[in-house]
């Protein structure tokens, strides 16, 4: 049981290049998320997928696109990378099942450290 | 989602108890309080969640007063490996999916 996995771990791009960050979870979770974290800052939500077949914008979606390929996989694409997109990217997933006793808990991947030159 | 306020940083020594307080004055009746921990170069991980009074697990305790306008995360006898950023979040129960809002958290540094 690997939890949430992300590839690649590190990536260096030149301005204008494109790339796709991959994320997969093996916990049969319904919801998946993409965050970015800049140095010394909290996490900011880029896009999320509340359930398979749906995606929605988060707080900072500009310059990104996402695909919920199936229930397990949620990818993040940078079409034309910019230096402002230099950050650490985290994927997360959550069960997102209605329950009376708790709020939803998110499980995070190890992150992808992206540098755009 | 209710806004939270917590100290930017705290320092401690190994073996001490650390208490991190979070203010959430606008907490709603159906909101839960959740704490996440983030080690350097890792994603955040859930550590504890509560609604009122006291919750304890193998990692930490969470104290919530009757008015629920604040909460305190207590880490007993910290070690160097507890050096991390701790995030306090408030969000509703009974919703299934929800978006989390992470602030800047509290950066805890544990020294020998």
Q: What is the SS3 assignment for A85?
A: helix
From CA B69, how far away is CA B4, in angstroms rounded? 10
DSSP string covering B62-81, please? EEE-TT-SEEEEEESS--GG
Q: What is the SS3 assignment for B21?
A: strand
B98 touching chain A per CB within 8 A: yes
The C-alpha of A108 sits at a distance from chain B's nearest C-alpha, in angstroms, of 5
Query: Mind listing the pLDDT tens digit for each residue in B13-72?
Result: 999 999 999 999 999 888 889 999 999 889 999 999 999 889 999 989 999 999 999 999
Q: Which of A56-60, A96-100, B40-44, B87-91 has the lowest mean pLDDT?
A: A96-100
pLDDT at A111 over 70: yes
B43 neighbourhood in chain A, CB within 8 Å: 4, 90, 92, 108-111
Model confidence at A116, in pLDDT bands (50, 70, 90)? very high
Please give the backbone phi and psi of residue B31, each rounded to the nearest 5 degrees, phi first: -85, 140
Scan residues 74-103 of A and list those with Cβ closer than 8 Å to B. 90, 92, 94, 96-103
Taking the alpha carbons of A25, A50, A47, A101 in that order, is the dihedral positive or negative?
A: negative
pLDDT of residue B103: 82
pLDDT of residue A101: 57
Are the C-beta atoms of residues A111 and A90 closer than 8 Å to each other? yes
Q: Which of B34, B43, B98 sits opposite A109 (nearest CB)?
A: B43
Containing B31, the helix (H) or strand (E) segment is: strand B31-38
Choose between A102 and B53: higher pLDDT. Answer: B53
Note the helical H segments in B1-112. Answer: none
Region A44-53: mean pLDDT is 90
Choose between A25 and A39: higher pLDDT. Answer: A25
pLDDT of residue B102: 82
Model confidence at B96, in pLDDT bands (50, 70, 90)? low
pLDDT at A95 over 80: yes
pLDDT of residue A33: 94
pLDDT of residue B31: 86
Name the closest residue on chain A to residue B39, using Cα atoms: A110
Which residues contact residue B29 at a Cβ distance below 8 angstroms, ignoring those fewer than 6 apart? none
Region B68-97: mean pLDDT is 88
pLDDT of residue B41: 86
Contact between B49 and A105 using a beta-carbon 8 Å cutoff? yes
Mutate to test the interface with A, among B71, B99, B104 (most CBs of A within 10 A): B99
């Amino acid at each position: 049981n690997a939890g949430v996995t992300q590839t690649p771990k590190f990536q260096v791009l030149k301005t204008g290049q494109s790339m796709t960050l991959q994320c997969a979870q093996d916990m049969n979770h319904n919801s998946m998320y993409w965050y970015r974290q800049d140095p010394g800052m909290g996490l900011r939500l880029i896009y999320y997928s509340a359930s398979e077949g749906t995606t929605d914008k988060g707080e900072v979606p500009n310059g990104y696109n996402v695909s919920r390929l199936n229930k397990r996989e949620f990818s993040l694409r940078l079409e034309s990378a910019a230096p402002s997109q230099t950050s650490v990217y985290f994927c997360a997933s959550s069960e997102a099942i209605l329950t009376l006793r708790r709020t939803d808990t998110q499980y995070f991947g190890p992150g992808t450290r992206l540098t755009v030159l | 989602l209710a806004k939270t306020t917590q100290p930017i940083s705290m320092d401690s020594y190994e073996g001490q108890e650390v208490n991190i307080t979070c203010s959430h004055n606008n907490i709603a009746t159906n909101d839960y309080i959740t704490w996440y921990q983030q080690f350097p170069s890792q994603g955040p991980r859930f550590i504890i969640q509560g609604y009122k009074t006291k919750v304890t697990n193998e990692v930490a305790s969470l104290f919530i007063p009757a008015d629920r306008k604040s909460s305190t995360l207590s880490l007993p006898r910290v070690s160097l490996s507890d050096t991390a950023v701790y995030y306090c979040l408030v969000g509703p129960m009974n919703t299934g999916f929800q978006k989390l809002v992470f602030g800047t958290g509290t950066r805890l540094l544990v020294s020998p």
